[in-house]
Structure 1
Amino acid sequence: MSQAAAPGPGPLVRAVRTYLDHLVVERGLAPNSVSSYKRDLRRYLGHLDAQGVGSLDEVTEQTVTGFLVALREGDAEHQPLSATSAARTVVAVRGFHKFALADGLATHDPSAAVRPPSPTKRLPKAVPLGVVEQLLEAAGAPGTPLALRDRALLEVLYGTGARISEAVGLDVDDLDLASDDPADHTVLLRGKGSKERVVPVGRYAREAVAAYLTRGRPALAESGGARGAMFLNARGGRLSRQSAWSVLVKAADRAGVTAEISPHTLRHSFATHLLEGGADVRVVQELLGHASVTTTQVYTLVTVDSLREVYAASHPRALG
């Protein structure tokens, strides 16, 4: 008497295998990516099995939401996943259900309304004023036109909160330094979506720019054709974002600054130092060119952390 054949894979397993084949053949995903999908969907199948779900049409939105909760909470076999890792797994599940519907393997997509969790916002990195001053003092090799340019560039980045793209995109005519009243000295910055904003220029940035325009830029402009550009490279063309980044990295090396430094560091420091000095968050929003004050409010978390540190270190009863 012949032995009965072992049952084949169920409909859910077959559907997942079909989807994985689709990722390889149709979409040409790399083996590592396919392995990640396979691992995530294997865990999903385990969740469905535990819930007594045997077919795609039995899966509901609540089933998928329950899986997301399980990812975040963990269980005896799995550590809780971060928002980023859970989001990646949910994306795999959503892709699977979307494919199943399109391929006729299911009559509905229960995952369509389930949104992956948003990753935790990383707080902007700011550096203390003393570190900023070290960077500014170390800008450029002394006594050269490039040194004057580098100092002016970094002073503008920190003094106005400009993005690196806004700074290298400046033309000489964008600066208004002609008024006898320093309070009227401004720079026109062109931000994301071609939105323009006018930002005051402080004394240090003003003096660095004036020195560069008088003694540095004319020498650089002799060998190039970028007539209107504010910041020029050694060949007389407009300074690129990559070269501007290099200016900051070299200044950090000269200054012996070991903290992670990028052009955005100066922008973050500009905002944080303003708020620590008592500036209103909506004023800082305008200066940064943020469309929503919500974007700017993340900086207030930095200043609150600073206040906590000062309080803990200074108040006689803070640790009691």
Structure 2
Amino acid sequence: MRLSEAIEPWCEHLARVRRLSPATVRAYRGDLRDLAATIGEDADLVRVDLEELRQWLWQATGRGDSRATLARRTAAVRGFFAWATESGLVDVDPSLRLVSAKRGRSLPVVGTVDAVAGVLEKAAERGEGGDPVALRDGALLELLYGSALRVSELCGIRGDDLDEERRTVRVVGKGDKERVVPFGGSAARALAEYLARGRPALASRASQHGRPPADRVFLGARGGALGPRAVYDVVNRALGPALGAPAVGPHVLRHSAATHLLDGGADLRAVQEILGHASLGTTQIYTHVSSERLAAVYRQAHPRA
């Protein structure tokens, strides 16, 4: 079998058996297609060797790809050939001795409490006029920050996932793992306004185009389901100027929420549960952020710093 022909069966395995997220599968598919393009579309799978894989990674290094990208590419190739070996497509796994630079762990971008509060206040002011899109944007910003959600989790919320009385939302995270997370009074008020005035107006736009509205809580301007790209644009327009950053995505609100929880004295295990992290080690990055902020305050304020 040719290398290029084995890519899609492997991606189906990742999605159906390993139940990886669509974004992860898409990234791995792109990595393997790039490998096939580099080695040759007609390359026989059993003839791919370690030197060709090393050369492929070396070219990525020469392009200036980040350590994170190189680590992902290595993981993709190793996973692919492990599957190919188990499936009997190859007898020897050429990726077993493939190594790449260790992934650097940079601290996430985090907005200050005042900066995030200012963004949310401005969003609320824009919604006072009753514009349905402004009401939606204010509600999604509040919920992203208030519940520290991933963008995919936000886009997947349906009406029965919200418990407005208890102020909780049920979301499906990575690996189809379900969890229930709380949200605060500000998010509750923004959601109530959006559900009462904003969402019905957006839903009616779908009817005007002869189709039913999406069954998701957050709708696009034409009544369809709001996608991750649109949420990114909303967050970038609202938060980017406040942080002075050219590109700010929804994860910044998630990072900020986690850091602010720890700064406020929240238990690390509780933050792990809210974020839906499988490993406590993933959550611990936010303790480093808190320590960095504390050190910065110390250096600015202490006379002997």
TM-score range, shorter chain: 0.5 to 0.7
3-state SS, counterpart of residue 291 of structure 2: helix
CA distance in 1, matches of 2:191, 2:57: 56
Aligned residue number for residue 118 of structure 1: 102
TM-score normalised over the length of structure 1: 0.63
How far the C-alpha of 1:243 sits from its partner, in A, is 1.2
Structure 2 residue 163 is the aligned partner of structure 1 residue 200 = no
CA RMSD across the alignment: 3.4
120-129 or 224-233: bigger deviation: 224-233
3-state SS, counterpart of residue 234 of structure 1: coil
Q: Of residues 114, 126, 130 in structure 2, which corresponds to 1:130?
A: 114
Which amino acid is the alignment partner of residue 219 of structure 1?
A
Aligned residue number for residue 297 of structure 1: 284
Which amino acid is the alignment partner of residue 188 of structure 1?
R
CA distance in 1, matches of 2:186, 2:114: 15
Aligned residue number for residue 202 of structure 2: 220
CA distance in 2, matches of 1:302, 1:123: 6
Aligned residue number for residue 276 of structure 1: 263
- Identity percentage over the alignment? 44
How far the C-alpha of 1:278 sits from its partner, in A, is 1.0
8 Å Cα contact 1:226/1:236 also seen in 2: yes
Which amino acid is the alignment partner of residue 124 of structure 1?
P
Q: Of residues 36, 39, 60 in structure 2, which corresponds to 1:23?
A: 39
Q: Of residues 37, 61, 70 in structure 1, which corresponds to 2:55?
A: 37
How far the C-alpha of 1:134 sits from its partner, in A, is 2.8
- CA, structure 1 residues 84+257, in 2 after alignment: closer, same or farther (shift >3 Å)? closer
Aligned residue number for residue 161 of structure 2: 174
Which amino acid is the alignment partner of residue 185 of structure 1?
R
3-state SS, counterpart of residue 155 of structure 1: helix
3-state SS, counterpart of residue 171 of structure 2: strand
CA distance in 1, matches of 2:203, 2:41: 55
- CA, structure 1 residues 199+113, in 2 after alignment: closer, same or farther (shift >3 Å)? same
3-state SS, counterpart of residue 223 of structure 1: helix
8 Å Cα contact 2:147/2:183 also seen in 1: yes
8 Å Cα contact 1:83/1:118 also seen in 2: no
How far the C-alpha of 1:25 sits from its partner, in A, is 8.2
Which has the larger Rg? 1
152-161 or 133-142: bigger deviation: 133-142
8 Å Cα contact 1:248/1:263 also seen in 2: yes
CA distance in 2, matches of 1:124, 1:216: 33
Which amino acid is the alignment partner of residue 23 of structure 1?
I
How far the C-alpha of 1:111 sits from its partner, in A, is 8.9
Q: Of residues 143, 148, 155 in structure 1, which corresponds to 2:135?
A: 148
- CA, structure 1 residues 38+256, in 2 after alignment: closer, same or farther (shift >3 Å)? closer
How far the C-alpha of 1:109 sits from its partner, in A, is 10
- CA, structure 1 residues 25+129, in 2 after alignment: closer, same or farther (shift >3 Å)? closer
CA distance in 2, matches of 1:291, 1:39: 29
- CA, structure 1 residues 40+149, in 2 after alignment: closer, same or farther (shift >3 Å)? closer
CA distance in 2, matches of 1:239, 1:288: 22
CA distance in 2, matches of 1:208, 1:288: 21
Give aligned pairs, total: 230
CA distance in 1, matches of 2:249, 2:277: 19
CA distance in 1, matches of 2:163, 2:95: 55
Aligned residue number for residue 49 of structure 2: none
8 Å Cα contact 1:139/1:247 also seen in 2: no
8 Å Cα contact 1:173/1:228 also seen in 2: no
CA distance in 2, matches of 1:232, 1:290: 27
**Unpaired segments of 5 or more residues in structure 2?**
1-37, 45-51, 60-64, 82-91, 207-211
3-state SS, counterpart of residue 139 of structure 1: helix
Aligned residue number for residue 228 of structure 2: 241
